[in-house]
Amino acid sequence: MKKMKTVFTLLVVGILAIGCTSEQQIKDQVKKALEEDPKLLISAIEKNPVEFAEAMRTAIGKAQSVLKKKQEDDEAKKLEETFDNPLKPEIRSDEMIRGNKNAPLTLVEYSDYECPFCSRGFNTVMDLISKYGDNIRFVYKHLPLSFHRNAMIASQYHEALRLQDEKKAWKFHDELFKNQGKLKSGEPFVKKLAKEVGADMKRLAKDVNSEAVKKRIQEDMKEAASFGMQGTPGFLLNGIPVKGAYPASYFYGIVDKLKAKGKVKF
């Protein structure tokens, strides 16, 4: 390391000896010297490979720290902006809503039945419902990812069940997440679960591949994409985006901030 520093020191001293030189001029001339004779740097690296590797690791670590801080600052700024300009998901007239339909808090989730992080999201949602009771309403929307081969069919069964009975559809939703590991067996498990929650299986067979069901799912996916929800789970809490399986405490903080800003009252 000392030898490497010596090389650069000699370069700088040599340049300074020429006369009064600005910092930028020094940088430019050092750069020019290295470009004209890169062997200076190569030689220093070859003679001090361990020191160079350590210096690179340190530099990379510092760069990553700076970039992470910048990313966090940018995300915090964007989040702050959404409190004044919240995103606006469509709550359809026939939307399946869990909880008080007139609640001051609206939690919308874009989810994938086969995503392991979405099972964490399910637990978070249930925690929030338990904590806020009649002050929160929950809307489940579909974002089945292409690399989860059983996610789409699970969503189709959910929507086909919704057309029959919302209570059965919610039970299906809950049991799917509680038994997510069994979904790897595909449609046979989904069909079995639908039967267990009391579905009209003849009607289900007719509706599950219908255009109405597929269109509904595509609408959810399109809306998620418009909000930049590329992975799952993604949430909107009164229009405030939360991308990822954050713990319930993170959502508590958003609620507290909404209250402090006078955006919600309860």
Looking at residues 5-13, what average pLDDT do you find? 48
Please give the Cα distance from 128 to 124 (Å, whole number). 6
pLDDT at 6 over 60: no
Give residues with Cβ within 8 angstroms of 266, minimum separation 6: 104, 105, 135
Question: Are residues 105 and 63 located together in one domain of the fold?
Answer: no
Residues 58 and 121 in one domain: no
C-alpha distances out from residue 231 to 96, 114, 158, 235, Å: 22, 12, 20, 11
Per residue in 136-167, pLDDT tens?
Answer: 999 999 999 999 999 999 999 999 999 999 99
> Residue 205: pLDDT above 80?
yes
- The pTM is what? 0.75
Residue 187 covered by a domain? yes
In a domain, 90, yes or no: no
216 and 146 within one domain? yes
Question: For the residues 46-67, what does the mean pLDDT come to?
Answer: 83
Q: Kindly state the average pLDDT of the residues 67-81.
A: 76
pLDDT of residue 171: 98
Instruction: State how far the Cα of 131 lies from the Cα of 57, in Å rounded to an integer.
Output: 45
Question: Cα 24 from chain centroid?
Answer: 42
CATH of the domain at 197: 3.40.30.10
5-to-20, 22, 34, 48 alpha-carbon distances in Å: 22, 20, 14, 11
> Side chain identity at 93, as an amino acid letter?
S
Give the whole-angstrom CA distance, residue 180 versus residue 175.
8
Query: In the structure encoding, which two tokens stand for residue 236, read together?
Result: 């909107």
54 pLDDT band, cuts 50/70/90, is confident
Cβ 41 vs Cβ 34: under 8 Å: yes
What is the tally of structural domains in the chain? 2
Asked if the model's pLDDT at residue 107 lies above 80, the reply is yes
Tell me, yes or no, whether 265 lies in a domain: no
Among 4-8, 39-43, 211-215, 224-228, the least confident range: 4-8
pLDDT at residue number 162: 97
Q: Are residues 24 and 50 in the same domain?
A: yes
32 pLDDT above the threshold of 90: no
Domain co-membership, 132 together with 252: yes
Pair 76, 110 in one domain: no
- Residue 18 identity (one-letter amino acid): I
How far apart (Å, rounded) are the C-alpha atoms in residues 12 and 63? Answer: 25
Q: How confident is the model at residue 209 (pLDDT cuts 50, 70, 90)?
A: very high
Task: Work out the number of other CB atoms within 10 angstroms of the CB of residue 159.
Answer: 22
The reply to whether 126 and 252 lie within a common domain is yes
Q: Are strands 234-237 and 105-111 parallel, antiparallel or unpaired?
A: antiparallel
User: 121: pLDDT confidence band, cut at 50, 70 and 90?
Assistant: very high
3-state secondary structure of 44: helix
Asked if 57 and 109 sit in the same domain, the reply is no
Pairing relationship of beta strands 97-99 and 234-237 according to DSSP bridges: unpaired
Mean pLDDT on 168-179: 98
Does residue 91 form part of some domain?
A: no
Q: Is residue 248 in a domain?
A: yes
Q: In terms of residue numbers, what domain contains 230?
A: 97-260
Residue closest to 86 by CA, chosen among 106, 109, 115: 106
Strand-pairing partners, residue 111, are 142
Select the more confidently predicted residue: 34 or 118. Answer: 118
Q: Which residue has the higher pLDDT, 23 or 185?
A: 185
Domain shared by 219 and 104, yes or no: yes
Q: Are residues 66 and 101 both part of a single domain?
A: no
Whose tokens are 């699970």? That residue is 154
Q: How far apart are CA 161 and CA 190, in angstroms?
A: 11
Say what the pLDDT of residue 39 is.
Answer: 79
